[in-house]
């Protein structure tokens, strides 16, 4: 870990937009009456003439962003993941994805860690939904440094992006000079017995799990997959070959999420045991974020258990 700073990735998103707005006057923000929560209110305060509130109307918001992109702007369309990926899926697919427009979707409050907002707001299906849209780039940062880098990379890259941010403050894992590359996984630790491939807030849990496994004499490789689409096939294949067993970890549904993406690569290339840690086939519930993560098994302890199970399945 670089240090003990803790910051929500949605907070880093808001700060990055302000910084980006100063450097590039083509950057605009469209929000769905949630600027205080999505942290785009920071951009609104700095650049009021480039901020547009679409009201509680995510479908319209996405269409407005699409229109802005056709006249040369770089729009960031922001709302909760549940609403922009769920409610506005048709518009994201047909109005942004199909014509491959230069729209960046800033989806905050993703996953179980929304906590007390409950199942109606805990979007765990968004990665699966966005993966089905051709040409959509999906980035799920693990800390504030990676979140900032993702925002800048999205603005500099033509095409539609889905940027997934969380509500819960996370420890900083990367140094400020961290080099971010779209589509490239990052190996955080080497190991020979099992590979833990994680994304988002589960990257920190993966690193804790590595240490717990080491105390039992088990050597774990840890990989951060921040770009879920296009996924880094090479780093996954190398991990499968070198350790012979994989555990994936994500704060999202294991159906169609990171676990599915990794399994697809492994099955097509180097078949080895893959066990997925994530939200299983169930809805969320209401409660403190940390407790919800424990209830749904999104913990280092569960990664350790699954890692041992994956090792046992080696031929």
Rounded Cα distance between 46 and 67, Å, is 23
β strands within 134-258, DSSP E: 137-139, 161-164, 169-171, 186-189, 194-198, 220-224, 227-229, 246-253
Q: Is the peptide bond before 87 cis (omega within 30 degrees of 0)?
A: no
- Is 90 annotated as catalytic? no
Query: Which run of H or E residues covers position 10?
Result: helix 9-23
Residue 168, SS3 per DSSP: coil
**Beta strands 169-171; 6-8: pairing state:** antiparallel
Query: Which run of H or E residues covers position 78?
Result: strand 74-80
Catalytic residue among 19, 22, 25, 58: 58
- CA 236, 239, 241, 247 dihedral sign is negative
Residue with tokens 């409610």: 87
Which amino acids are annotated catalytic? Answer: 58
């Amino acid at each position: 870990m670089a240090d003990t700073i803790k910051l929500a990735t949605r907070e880093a998103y808001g700060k990055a937009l302000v910084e980006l707005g100063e450097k590039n006057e083509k950057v605009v923000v469209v929000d769905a009456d949630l600027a205080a929560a999505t942290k785009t209110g920071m951009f609104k305060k700095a650049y009021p003439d480039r901020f547009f509130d679409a009201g509680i109307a995510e479908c319209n918001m996405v269409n407005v962003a699409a229109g802005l992109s056709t006249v040369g702007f770089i729009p960031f369309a922001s709302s909760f993941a549940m609403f922009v990926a769920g409610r506005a899926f048709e518009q994201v697919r047909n109005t942004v994805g199909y014509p491959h427009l230069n729209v960046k979707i800033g989806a905050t409050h993703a996953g179980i860690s929304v906590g007390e907002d409950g199942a109606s707001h805990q979007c765990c299906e968004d990665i699966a939904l966005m993966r089905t849209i051709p040409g959509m780039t999906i980035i799920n940062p693990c800390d504030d440094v990676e979140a900032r880098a993702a925002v800048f990379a999205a603005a500099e890259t033509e095409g539609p992006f889905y940027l997934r941010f969380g509500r819960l403050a996370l420890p900083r894992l990367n140094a400020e000079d961290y080099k971010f590359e779209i589509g490239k996984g990052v190996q955080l630790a080497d190991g020979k017995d099992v590979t833990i491939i994680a994304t988002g807030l589960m990257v920190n849990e993966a690193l804790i799990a590595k240490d717990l496994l080491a105390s039992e004499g088990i050597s774990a490789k840890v990989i951060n997959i921040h770009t879920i689409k296009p996924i880094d096939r090479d780093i996954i294949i190398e991990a499968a070959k070198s350790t012979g067993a994989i555990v994936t970890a994500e704060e999202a549904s294991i159906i169609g999420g990171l676990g599915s993406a990794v399994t697809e690569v492994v099955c097509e290339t180097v078949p080895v045991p893959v066990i997925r840690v994530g939200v299983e086939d169930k809805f969320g519930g209401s409660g403190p974020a940390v407790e919800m993560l424990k209830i749904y098994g999104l913990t280092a302890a569960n990664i350790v258990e699954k890692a041992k199970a994956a090792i046992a399945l080696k031929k």
